[in-house]
Structure 1
Amino acid sequence: MRPVLLAAALSIAAAAPAFAADPVEGEWLTQAGTAKVKIGPCPSRDGRMCGVITWVRTAGMKDAENPDPQLRGRPLVGLMMIHNFKPAGPGKWTGGKIYDPQSGKTYDSKLRINTDGTLKVEGCVLVVCQAQTWKRS
Structure 2
Amino acid sequence: MNWLRKIQLTAILLLVTLTLALAGRATNPDAVLGVWKNGEGTGMVQIYKKGDKYFGRIVWLKVPNNPDGTPRTDVNNPDESKRKVPLKGLENMRGFSYSGDNKWESGSIYDPKNGSDYSCEMTLVDENTLEVRGFIGVSLFGRTDVWKRQISKKK
Paired with 1:50 and 1:91, the residues of 2 have a C-alpha distance of 16
CA contact (8 A) 2:54 2:96 kept: yes
CA contact (8 A) 1:119 1:133 kept: yes
Aligned to 1:130: 143
Paired with 2:120 and 2:29, the residues of 1 have a C-alpha distance of 21
Query: Which aligned segments of 4 or more residues in structure 1 are displaced greater than 6 angstroms?
Result: none
CA contact (8 A) 1:30 1:135 kept: yes
**What secondary structure sits across from 2:109 in the alignment?**
strand
Deviation at residue 89 of structure 1 after TM alignment: 0.6
User: Is 2:123 the partner of 1:112?
Assistant: yes
Deviation at residue 91 of structure 1 after TM alignment: 2.5
Greater C-alpha radius of gyration: 2
Paired with 1:94 and 1:21, the residues of 2 have a C-alpha distance of 12
- Higher helix fraction (1 or 2): 2
TM-score (structure 2 length as normaliser): 0.70
CA contact (8 A) 1:82 1:96 kept: yes
Aligned to 2:55: 50
Percent identity of the aligned residues?
Answer: 34
Structure 2, unpaired ranges of 5+: 1-27, 65-70, 151-155
Structure 1, unpaired ranges of 5+: 1-19
**What secondary structure sits across from 1:22 in the alignment?**
helix
The number of residue pairs the alignment matches comes to: 115
Deviation at residue 117 of structure 1 after TM alignment: 2.8
TM-score (structure 1 length as normaliser): 0.79
